[in-house]
Structure 1
Amino acid sequence: MGFGQFLAAPEIKLKIVTYRDVFQNTAQETSRFGEDYEKLSAVIKLDPKDMVKLSIKEGETVVVKNAFGKVVVTAQSSGHEEAHQGIAYMVNGPWSNALVPDETGGTGVPKFKDFEATVQGSKGEKVTGIRDIF
């Protein structure tokens, strides 16, 4: 038994920005419940320095949660040359929508593009299935 087993995985608060993706949209047209759609949608793109803070590597799963929902998705490096620590990107889809605040500020439109969540490594947990979101 090692000391490390008692330490919680690091957790950081991030601003999530959602975006549209033509490849994910094409996979959705083929099969919303298909493996390709999940692979392209259940993803969070992080700044490499945020990945270091979380002690995670490309392709590992993370828990993304806030007061409105919780999902397990695959972490990827964003690939942006400019640093964007504290900001993560998720494609529009059921996984990001599960986290969107229901507060609209009187506009009637939820804040799909800009909300906060905490992210934490999940040590091999499986990605939340689309059927578990609906």
Structure 2
Amino acid sequence: MGFDQFLSSPEMEILIITHRDIFQSAANSDSRFSDDYANLTAIIRLDKQDMKKAGIKEGDLVAIKNNSGKVVVKALQSTYEEPHSGTAYMVNGPWVNALVSAETSGTGVPAFKYIEAKMERSKESSITSFE
């Protein structure tokens, strides 16, 4: 247990873009409740500078919350070469779905693509479970 766990982590606003992933889809076809599926889906990919600004290292757990819910997922550095400060990417799945607003503005279709949230390094020691 390191001293840094007692230091507060800055909370930052992010815009989450969801996407499909062929590897996650393959794991999903095996079982949505498998460790493989969770390892490929319970992650958020962040801009390198955003990670540095928030004091987040590759593999750290982060808490993401908005008015719709809160989840803890693993943070990984984005593979995009272009900087995308303030924008993060998550694979479609139960973790990001917990952050999707039920408000549909009369369309009946939730906004799955652009999810506004706040993020900080998590004080919890595990990823949010299915339960």
State the TM-score bracket (shorter-chain normalisation): over 0.9
In the TM superposition, residue 123 of structure 1 has moved relative to its aligned partner by 4.2
Identity of aligned residues (%): 54
- 8 Å contact kept, 1:60–1:124: no
What is the DSSP-based 3-state SS (H/G/I as helix, E as strand, rest coil) of the residue aligned with 1:109?
A: coil
Which whole-Å CA distance do the structure 1 matches of 2:28 and 2:18 have between them? 16
Q: Distance in 2 between matches of 1:123 and 1:6?
A: 9
Cα offset, 1:6, TM superposition:
6.1
User: What is the letter of the counterpart of residue 37 of structure 1?
Assistant: Y
User: Can you list the C-alpha shifts for 1:44-68, whole angstroms capped at 9, x where unaligned?
Assistant: 0000011011101111100011010
TM-score by length of 1: 0.91
CA RMSD of aligned residues (A): 1.6
Moved more, 5-14 or 68-77: 5-14
Residue 6 to residue 40, structure 1, CA distance change in 2 (3 Å): closer
- CA shift, 1:36, in A, is 0.2
Gaps spanning 5+ residues in structure 2: where?
none
1:89-129 Cα distance to aligned partner (Å, 9 max, x none):
01000000000011111111000001101110014620011
Q: Given the superposition, is the C-alpha separation of residues 4 and 73 from structure 1 closer, same or farther in structure 2, using an over 3 Å criterion?
A: closer
What is the CA distance between 1:19 and its match in structure 2? Answer: 0.3
Q: 1:12 to 1:94 in 2, by over 3 A?
A: same
Residue aligning to 1:114: 114
Alignment length, in residue pairs? 129
Q: Is the 8 A contact 2:5 2:123 kept in 1?
A: no
1:8 Cα shift? Answer: 2.1
| Corresponding position: 1:86 with 2:83 | no
The corresponding residue for 1:61 is: 61
User: Which position in structure 1 is the counterpart of 2:18?
Assistant: 18
